[in-house]
A and B are shown apart, each in its own frame.
Chain A
């Protein structure tokens, strides 16, 4: 088996009394895309901060290409690229000036620097806006530039912390495609998200993180097998008030394991969908809720999270 580019070994991080990360261990192989999937506040950013040398772990250690983040943090910084969750750019100078500055900060210069800047502009699709001030960019363009900065020195592994939060579908599509094409060129990726579809689409392996702990990890198949014996029923009932409370009430029906409601959908888990369907429909009829559509779903990561935590995976 190829070596690990990253190995996190029982990382802990306390902020005073509060334990934000409680023993996270995982590995990323060379050229692998690994996603940390978890809701807001799960500890994704804190974990990345420890892996990139920004925060020192309360206990545990991590190694990048064999270098410890505790002892060899400068060697670590040379091989990693980081795309922070918040857009970290200078808004009043141009895209090219931003790239040039950050390129110099990772040690690029001269011809190599300008070549890499051109490549980065190409990748992010911003070549025609290179001279414009960043503050004139849309949210999606800023996110793309934010990523491009992290790619300048062609790192062996790139950390992307929720790079698609709050942007338009096209930019999101473009970012996901960028991640894939970078990976095809051999770059390993640590990708954090709270969108299950992104984790499903991108990842070779996925770690599900909640309350500072990795509660499950593996390939998508391995993870969904965990809920293999369950059916997930998805009912579209349209936007109604108190959808979460409706879900909780449904949970009390016999044989329903888990339930949650979101964006007009009710998601229910049961060992056998057919056994519970009639009861669910009757219950909704009684409370005068109209069902627009009904689907029995293949197990997915959302279902896994629901199964493991009894909660919905969202912010």
Chain B
């Protein structure tokens, strides 16, 4: 009962402190975002549904490529600001240069029309290698890739149906295309959302589906945005969990310094109950901090923490226990609150670097890997990564849970010995 009262008091103090909230919740989320953005795979800002900047690289030697370009340029949509072209088309000669524009965010997509496009269509698909229309889209955009792919697809559909069977002159094909396909596209733009959804779903299966003209679509950077956050958010959460937990256990020494520990000892409460309360408060605060981080990052940034809840819960609990025990050991070891603060920050940083919170441990040489595996951070981070990135299950993280529990027991035992020597005479 008394330990519970103390634990609740400490949790109240932690969550009442604006700076603490900043450190516990805001900092890990913000740093994860910054790191994610630094790798260029963040965003998801709203794409305009008119004047989507599209670069067309028309390498086609014949007329059809030019025609294709014209069709795309002529599609209009009704936007809130009146009739506008759907695409703001720019033409480039060099494909790589065009792709670079997408990568730096200057354009939403690239359409590459290959050299033999006209020849192939004019031969009604009898050439050996069907031409490859290439579409590159901006990975950070959520809407425009679907539109670009959808429109290109529809125009190509027109080519395919028309060029099958009938001996139609090339000019006619394009008249038809112009009137039918373009109109169809235009009509369908009212169902823009459906197009996007359908296209995004079929995206990836597109390749090879069409007989006559093959479209390959690539999202530049291959959709690593969520994966990156799936690494950084747990990583930073562990790092800042440790900060908060060390603050929590350090408050034992602060209470000693500020006289509230003495006051607690004057109440009918044993020192063991007091210490249990303090450590329990750190644990409780840590659990709350982690739950909030998981919830916010999942809801706001779509971070996928785990396929199922149970392994995530267990891993969170043992991680917080391990970090809290380490903090308790540190507090027992330090002469005063000041020293505990300095030791804590140092250890936090060293453990974070060794444990892979900042540097990927895959690059570590063998000897460093061994040292790395002595840290709480490494086992916790590996565990969370297994759940978030490799769709791991409870079985996969059992070694992590065992290692973290082992460390918790080790540090807690040390802490008990130190506290006994210090407080129990």
In chain A, what residue has the closest Cβ to B20? Answer: A92
**Contact of A301 with B by CB under 8 A:** no
Closest to B277 in A: A105
Q: Smallest CB-CB separation from B270: which chain A residue?
A: A74
Of all chain B residues, the one with the shortest Cβ separation from A106 is B267
Are the CB atoms of A54 and B262 closer together than 8 Å?
yes
Docked-complex contact A104 and B260, CB < 8 angstroms: no
Distance in angstroms from B263 CB to nearest chain A CB is 4
Q: Are B266 and A101 in contact (CB under 8 A)?
A: no
Which one, A76-84, A164-172, A183-191, A216-224, is touching chain B? A76-84
Chain A binding surface, main DSSP class: loop
A87 at interface, CB cutoff 8 A: yes
B295 at the interface (CB under 8 A from A): no
Q: Is the CB of A104 within 8 A of B265?
A: no
Decide if A92 touches B13 in the complex (CB within 8 Å): yes
| Chain B nearest CB, measured from A241 CB (Å) | 37
- Residue of B whose beta carbon sits closest to that of A94: B16
* B259 and A86 form a contact (CB under 8 A): yes
A226 within 8 A of B: no
B9 within 8 A of partner (CB): yes
Chain A residues whose C-beta falls within 8 Å of the C-beta of B260 in the assembled complex: 88-90
Considering the chains assembled together, what is the distance between the CA atoms of A93 and B259 in angstroms? 16
Picked from A86, A104, A107, A149, the residue with its CB within 8 Å of the CB of B258 is A86
Interface size on B, residues (CB 8 A): 20
Contact B16 A77 (CB under 8 A): no
- Taken together as a complex, chains A and B put the C-alpha atoms of A80 and B267 apart, in Å, by 9
- In the complex, what distance in Å separates the CA atom of A82 from the CA atom of B259? 12
**Is there contact, CB below 8 Å, between B5 and A92?**
no
> In the complex, which residues 12-26 of chain B have their Cβ closer than 8 Å to any Cβ of chain A?
12-13, 16-17
Q: Is A178 an interface residue (CB 8 A)?
A: no
Taking a contact as CB atoms under 8 Å apart, the answer to whether B425 and A54 are in contact is no
Within 8 A of A (CB), among B127-169: none
Query: Which residues of chain B are near A53, meaning CB under 8 Å?
Result: 265-266
Question: Taking the complex as formed, is B82 at the interface, i.e. its CB lies under 8 A from any CB of chain A?
Answer: no
Report the nearest A residue to B260, measured CB to CB: A88
B259: chain A residues within 8 A (beta carbon): 84, 86-88
Asked if B264 contacts A105 (CB within 8 A), the reply is: yes
Contact with B along A178-198 (1 / 0, CB 8 A): 000000000000000000000
> Of B2, B12, B268, B425, which is within 8 A of A74 by CB?
B268
Partner of B268 from the list A78, A87, A90 (CB cut-off 8 Å) is A78
A300 within 8 A of B: no
Query: In chain A, residues 28-43, which have Cβ atoms closer than 8 Å to a Cβ of chain B?
Result: none
Cβ-neighbour of B265 out of A54, A56, A90, A101 (below 8 A): A54
Q: Is A52 an interface residue (CB 8 A)?
A: yes
Q: How far is the CB of A123 from chain B (nearest CB, A)?
A: 18
Complex CA distance for A90 and B254, rounded to whole angstroms: 11
A224-238: which residues lie under 8 A (CB-CB) from chain B?
Answer: none
Residue of B nearest to A74 (CB): B268
**Docked-complex contact B12 and A93, CB < 8 angstroms:** yes
Q: Which residues of A contact B16 (CB under 8 A)?
A: 92-93
Nearest B residue to A101, CB-CB: B9
Q: Considering the complex, give the chain B residue whose CB is closest to the CB of A56.
A: B425
Cβ contacts A to B, 13 pairs, < 8 Å: A54-B262, A56-B425, A74-B268, A78-B268, A80-B266, A84-B262, A88-B258, A88-B260, A89-B260, A90-B9, A93-B12, A105-B2, A107-B268
| Interface residue ranges, B against A (CB under 8 Å) | 2, 5-6, 9, 12-13, 16-17, 258-260, 262-269, 425
Extra 13 A-B pairs, beta carbons < 8 Å, given A56-B425, A86-B258: A77-B267, A84-B259, A87-B259, A88-B259, A90-B9, A92-B13, A93-B12, A97-B12, A101-B9, A102-B263, A104-B5, A106-B268, A107-B268
